[in-house]
């Protein structure tokens, strides 16, 4: 009898507990989808539209600036912006986007960690009636709605043209970005337009050609160390795909006291790269004004939702469709124009760049 009474009280207690908690269930968020990296920039109750933003990383400074710009623009336009950062993890990005879709976003801005597998994110968004803007990086193999980026082949061309003009002959280390990022393919394609003909002529010898997983500076440093030791330090030029990987290579060069002696490219106009340019250890970088790109993304999202024309004047093929595209223009930066391009534009502060 005592046992029966105990069981009944346990049953009643469980019922009361479940009833009390039923109101909280919808607000519980998947832990891996959030991990401290999401935010709602504005008060949803006052916003007419809600935008989901899925970024691949905050590792490189540029992605931090993209996020800051978009949050500010969304706030200025009274738009609710829900941000998720996947930390270079495609599976995590997939579940974070499921979460954003479940939150009733009207549109998704997606910068994919993995160009190919993220096609399923676009498909799921479409099934939920949500359009997707492919941001900076192109989602491959799906009918993504619009691609907003820089002219990425041009980025590579600017790097390739610059380095081959400076070093038309000699031993080259040619590094590409992450194989999972379509931009890495486009940058390399652009750069090789200048490097390959000289390699075919025998003027340039490519002593190392490799790609860097997830754009890791530490991996770039190891590859550079290997190239230096395999060639008795006789390297004449380095094609580094971005500033992060350039930083890794420059560390390897510094170990051999060769920093500042071997021309090396970069991209992103990160503060540390700008400092290296004025100090003479990095030769150039590329300026892609992420403030413009970020603002444009929020504007385009609004235009799509209002059924307005996007002004997409070109298309880029993603192995499924020709995606309507808006591509901003990249600019070369070296010690000759750094003040003009990066400081006078307010992108970087003079005191920071010239800090000793």
List interacting residues with ligand BGC (CB under 6 A): 57, 60, 62, 136-137, 177, 181, 183, 215, 242, 267-268
Nearer to ligand BGC, 228 or 338 (CB): 338
Q: How far is the CB of 265 from ligand BGC (least distance, A)?
A: 12
Nearer to ligand BGC, 194 or 215 (CB): 215
Cβ pair 116, 249 in contact under 8 A:
no
> Taking the chain, what is the end-to-end CA distance rounded to the nearest angstrom?
82
Residue by residue, DSSP assigns 220-270 as HHHHHHHHHHHTTT---EEE-SSHHHHHHHHHHHHHTT-TTTS-B---S--
Q: How far is the CB of 127 from ligand BGC (least distance, A)?
A: 27
152: left (phi over 0), alpha (psi -120 to 50) or beta: alpha
Nearer to ligand BGC, 247 or 263 (CB): 247
Q: What is the largest CA-CA distance in the chain?
A: 96
Q: How far is the CB of 314 from ligand BGC (least distance, A)?
A: 18
Q: How far is the CB of 184 from ligand BGC (least distance, A)?
A: 7
Nearer to ligand BGC, 92 or 302 (CB): 92
The residue to which tokens 């003479």 are assigned: 280
Torsion of CA 106, 110, 114, 118, to 10 degrees: 20
Q: How far is the CB of 92 from ligand BGC (least distance, A)?
A: 16
Nearer to ligand BGC, 204 or 248 (CB): 248
Cβ pair 278, 353 in contact under 8 A:
yes
Cβ pair 248, 224 in contact under 8 A:
yes
Nearer to ligand BGC, 101 or 273 (CB): 273
Q: How far is the CB of 286 from ligand BGC (least distance, A)?
A: 8
Nearer to ligand BGC, 57 or 95 (CB): 57
Q: What is the CA radius of gyration of the chain?
A: 24
Gap between the Cα atoms of 187 and 184, Å rounded? 5
Q: How far is the CB of 136 from ligand BGC (least distance, A)?
A: 5
């Amino acid at each position: 009898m005592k046992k029966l009474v105990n069981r009944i009280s346990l049953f009643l207690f469980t019922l009361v507990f479940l009833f009390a908690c039923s109101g909280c269930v919808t607000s519980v968020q998947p832990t891996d989808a959030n991990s401290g990296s999401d935010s709602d920039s504005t008060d949803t109750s006052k916003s007419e539209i809600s935008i989901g933003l899925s970024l691949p990383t905050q590792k490189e400074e540029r992605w931090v600036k993209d996020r800051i710009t978009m949050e500010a623009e969304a706030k200025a336009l009274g738009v609710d912006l829900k941000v998720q950062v996947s930390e270079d993890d495609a599976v995590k990005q997939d579940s974070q986007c499921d979460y954003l879709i479940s939150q009733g976003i009207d549109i998704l801005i997606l910068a994919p960690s993995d160009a190919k597998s993220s096609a399923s994110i676009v498909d799921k968004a479409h099934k939920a009636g949500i359009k997707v803007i492919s941001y900076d990086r192109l989602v491959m193999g799906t009918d993504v709605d619009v691609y907003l980026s820089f002219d990425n082949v041009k980025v590579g061309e600017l790097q390739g043209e610059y380095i081959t003009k400076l070093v038309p002959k000699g031993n080259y280390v040619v590094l590409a970005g992450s194989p999972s990022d379509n931009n890495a393919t486009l940058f390399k394609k652009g750069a090789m337009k200048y490097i390959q003909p000289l390699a075919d002529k025998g003027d340039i010898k490519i002593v190392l050609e490799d790609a860097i997983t997830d754009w890791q500076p530490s991996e770039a440093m190891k590859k550079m160390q290997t190239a230096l030791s395999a060639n008795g330090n006789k390297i004449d030029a380095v094609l580094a795909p971005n500033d992060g990987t350039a930083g890794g290579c420059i560390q390897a060069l510094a170990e051999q006291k060769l920093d500042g002696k071997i021309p090396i490219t970069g991209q992103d106009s990160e503060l540390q790269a700008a400092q290296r340019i004025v100090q003479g250890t990095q030769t150039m970088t590329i300026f892609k004004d992420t403030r413009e790109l970020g603002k444009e993304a929020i504007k385009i999202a609004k235009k799509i939702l209002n059924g307005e024309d996007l002004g997409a004047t070109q298309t880029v093929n993603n192995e499924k469709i020709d995606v309507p595209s808006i591509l901003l223009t990249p600019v070369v930066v070296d010690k000759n124009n750094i003040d003009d391009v990066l400081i006078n534009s307010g992108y970087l502060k003079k005191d920071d760049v010239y800090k000793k």
